[in-house]
Structure 1
């Protein structure tokens, strides 16, 4: 769950893909005087991703003639006025490899954020879902406000460089005022540049888009794979349309019972746990750990680095220097995947010698910045969706009183997470609720996969999601592993359980544990 907004759980896209409406190919709003469920999608070759989607080249084919196709679905701009103007929702699909008589339907993916472009992320990870393609067309989409789906836009690339370099852990009144002013400037830019979309990017809106998508794709039921925030979106869908849920899997599970502050504090503890595991892993390997003699020494040296950077940044990626905030974001990015721990070790070694390039690359990846200096709209979308969803608004005085509690939970990450609670303070749109409603009586079983080492969606959230879905709906599976998410870890036990349910309808025993 990407709270706080400056440290989002959208790293699947950021790791794989490592703001302008013109580049995004936005279409003008159309009149909604038609039956949108009867629309026919015009599938064609996918263009190269827009800047808002993260840039890069067109998606590479998968084996077995796995050619990616893209289309745009019309959806109501305002679901409270479904016959009014429409917006375009961008979709991507690769067809099933199996026999048509064994095809189940479409399997729709959402990779989280909120703010991750499914149109760019699914092809990046497509080979990891190849088994599922034997009976499904694999489909993903840019949710409204994201990528090519009427993207919300805030600051430009130069402004975002400054935004992500600024001091997000103020030590005095002047630094606090600077942070508050910067946050207000960002939020004002979102309102000015997003063409009136800010009230229409709530998770409930995206869930209604998915039910329209189900019908347009010709499926009686929604078969769904949600990751990170995608589990919250899936839970909200199940609440709104319980009878339409087919086979669904939630991986890297958001805790739907927490408000913004509680969620941020839980994340702080999750990132600290991942940091502890990283430090222990380094010193337990054969040979010397190059960044510390003991696990505590590793963490102490990291804390000293951040303290030094607060007053004296070091060389980063010219012309930018590595600031304390950028280094903290870089470390956070590496916590999302054990595959990035080696890069973090290398980055810390270099930073101790005055070179911050690798840590800055990690930070850029988290923030959606490409090597050519262009940003995707993931930061804008993330904040816009979170602030439209979340009702709480916090004052600077309240946050300042909470800093010690967050710092106690994580000396390294606590301050940044606490101050990021101000992200929605001056937001122009009221938040919808304290937390999402995911109760789904009457839904088909939903497989809920929790990872004990997950930093961004801590393990406890999986059990609470199961409880919130209601009796007979959520089925919990535990993965004892590291990183954000379980299925793409390629753990055989997890993949067998997920594949068995999605492909053959076999619901694993509740409480199954995979090591």
Structure 2
């Protein structure tokens, strides 16, 4: 069993709703990025030669894709000991390839293999796919790559119905017990690999992926958490970068509590934007002004807390699933009409549509099976990446600040620190700014209405990375490339294909 009221986890979702609109300008000529075609091949780090020189055994895994496994050391401090295998998938370029473009959808815990196989031809432009072999990979601990394993599908279903209230003594005790049970299960089912799925190790894996695919320099497009992975790589291997785009940036200098607080405030901003839009439409379930509509939304949440609803398939929908379904719609504002329909149905007593949104977030299929392991991997990776304050006093202070930052959903993001209290492996990461001195130009994209990676984080990363430029998409939703407009799309494509660095400060 896992713990309820966990810090809500969202992976960047690939959407086929690619509505292109205008923007304030296009990309302009800037410093040339190093395409890496004539660059000397970096020397493999000592002790890692066999990993860098391995030959991949590509096999057809569908009509258009080839799959392989890449061997990497489990522990980079002792590369001569155990190894693990990373699952990768490749979509060959439709023209003359400039090299391999590695992509990561975020999480942590989202599958790059699934991203490329399920949405590669929709999310990435035809021009980009013509010029690069597109490579998706499951980072260590994720999906097919030495995955974190904690629960059966039935146990995941059961965990989603657990809703103890940590503001009460009984609820707090239950929350701690569930957290401990979850940590024990992850350790027992996953084994020692659980201690080596940190972001630094994954960034070192990236360099092996670069080398075994025959590229002298890394070409990389990372979304959401994928920007943290990319920034970590840039700090470790600044001279090994060819082209790098970080879309929906995280700020690597923030600690766990600051990340959650920033997301709470950004989601509240997005909720305000949704309510303003909703109130202009005839089928909005709320009325009055925005503040009154927000109060009505709070009343609905309070009702679900007190009286869970039953969906048409017989499953109980409590507040954790209800809020999960509610929030996933803010990753793509094209889902706002769907959210309005789901809220109207729930107010009438039927939570089926909201549960469908929650299932989409959790990766649950109609037959009750789950794809991937995003929830478990998210917790496991973050418990290694961040020293978390697991004290009761610290958790209560965080809860107070979260409710102030987001009166609507702040309390549902609280007490997530207990997830790491009984974790079997100590954190190895330390939040710190990155600079990547000497790196080729790096493109950062921030979306002004992004609820999951607030725009201020992209601004912060732009200030940290010495060679970076910042593109701004004025809009709602999470990340920009593949779901925003031609201004962003053209800027990114021309950067990768022609090495034209977008103008720093470009507004789209």
- Pairwise same-fold verdict (TM > 0.5): yes
- In structure 1, stretches of 5+ residues that fail to align are 17-31, 47-57, 62-66
C-alpha separation between the residues in 2 aligned to 1:15 and 1:506? 27
Instruction: Count the aligned residue pairs.
Output: 472
Counterpart of 1:112 (choices 99, 106, 109) is: 106
Give secondary structure in 2 for the equivalent of 1:488.
coil
Give secondary structure in 2 for the equivalent of 1:197.
helix
Counterpart of 1:90 (choices 74, 87, 91) is: 87
Query: Which residue is 2:320 aligned to?
Result: 325
Give secondary structure in 2 for the equivalent of 1:165.
coil
C-alpha separation between the residues in 1 aligned to 2:220 and 2:48? 29
Task: Kindly indicate whether residue 193 of structure 2 is the aligned counterpart of residue 191 of structure 1.
Answer: no
Question: Cα gap change, 1:10/1:288 in structure 2, threshold over 3 Å: closer, same or farther?
Answer: closer
- Post-superposition shift, 1:311? 1.6
Task: Kindly indicate whether residue 58 of structure 2 is the aligned counterpart of residue 43 of structure 1.
Answer: yes
- Structure scoring higher RCO (CA < 8 A, sep ≥ 6) equals 2
1:406-425 map, 5 Å: 406-425=402-421
C-alpha separation between the residues in 1 aligned to 2:241 and 2:341? 45
1:113-132 map, 5 Å: 113-127=107-121, 128-129=123-124, 130-132=126-128
Q: Deviations over 1:221-276 (max 9, x none)?
A: 00000000000000000011111011110001112121000110000011111111
Question: Cα gap change, 1:372/1:120 in structure 2, threshold over 3 Å: closer, same or farther?
Answer: same
C-alpha separation between the residues in 1 aligned to 2:182 and 2:143? 19
Query: Which residue is 1:20 aligned to?
Result: none
- In structure 2, stretches of 5+ residues that fail to align are 18-46
Q: Deviations over 1:74-112 (max 9, x none)?
A: 11111111122221100010111113xxx3200000110
- Post-superposition shift, 1:474? 1.3
C-alpha separation between the residues in 2 aligned to 1:431 and 1:342? 41
Counterpart of 2:173 (choices 150, 173, 177) is: 177
C-alpha separation between the residues in 2 aligned to 1:148 and 1:363? 23
Query: Which residue is 1:148 aligned to?
Result: 144
Mean Cα deviation higher: 449-458 or 75-84:
75-84
Query: Which residue is 2:491 aligned to?
Result: 497
User: Contact 1:198 / 1:429 at 8 angstroms: preserved in 2?
Assistant: yes
Query: Which residue is 1:481 aligned to?
Result: 475
Question: Cα gap change, 1:437/1:427 in structure 2, threshold over 3 Å: closer, same or farther?
Answer: farther
Query: Which residue is 1:10 aligned to?
Result: 11
Q: Deviations over 1:146-175 (max 9, x none)?
A: 111110101222222222222264341111
Counterpart of 2:221 (choices 219, 225, 244) is: 225
C-alpha separation between the residues in 2 aligned to 1:33 and 1:468? 30
User: Contact 1:236 / 1:437 at 8 angstroms: preserved in 2?
Assistant: no
C-alpha separation between the residues in 2 aligned to 1:352 and 1:289? 11
- Post-superposition shift, 1:41? 1.0
Q: Deviations over 1:184-217 (max 9, x none)?
A: 1111111111021111101011111110011100
Query: Which residue is 2:273 aligned to?
Result: 277
User: Contact 1:151 / 1:377 at 8 angstroms: preserved in 2?
Assistant: yes
User: Contact 1:89 / 1:149 at 8 angstroms: preserved in 2?
Assistant: yes
Q: Deviations over 1:443-467 (max 9, x none)?
A: 1111000000000000000011112
C-alpha separation between the residues in 1 aligned to 2:262 and 2:55? 44
1:327-476 map, 5 Å: 327-375=322-370, 376-469=372-465, 471=466, 473-476=467-470
C-alpha separation between the residues in 2 aligned to 1:288 and 1:343? 11
User: Contact 1:392 / 1:434 at 8 angstroms: preserved in 2?
Assistant: no
C-alpha separation between the residues in 2 aligned to 1:507 and 1:199? 39
Query: Which residue is 1:258 aligned to?
Result: 254
Query: Which residue is 1:165 aligned to?
Result: 161
Task: Kindly indicate whether residue 310 of structure 2 is the aligned counterpart of residue 315 of structure 1.
Answer: yes
User: Contact 1:368 / 1:379 at 8 angstroms: preserved in 2?
Assistant: no
Task: Kindly indicate whether residue 298 of structure 2 is the aligned counterpart of residue 297 of structure 1.
Answer: no
- Post-superposition shift, 1:15? 9.7
Question: Cα gap change, 1:283/1:15 in structure 2, threshold over 3 Å: closer, same or farther?
Answer: same
C-alpha separation between the residues in 1 aligned to 2:436 and 2:149? 34
Give secondary structure in 2 for the equivalent of 1:71.
strand
Q: State TM-score, norm by structure 1.
A: 0.88
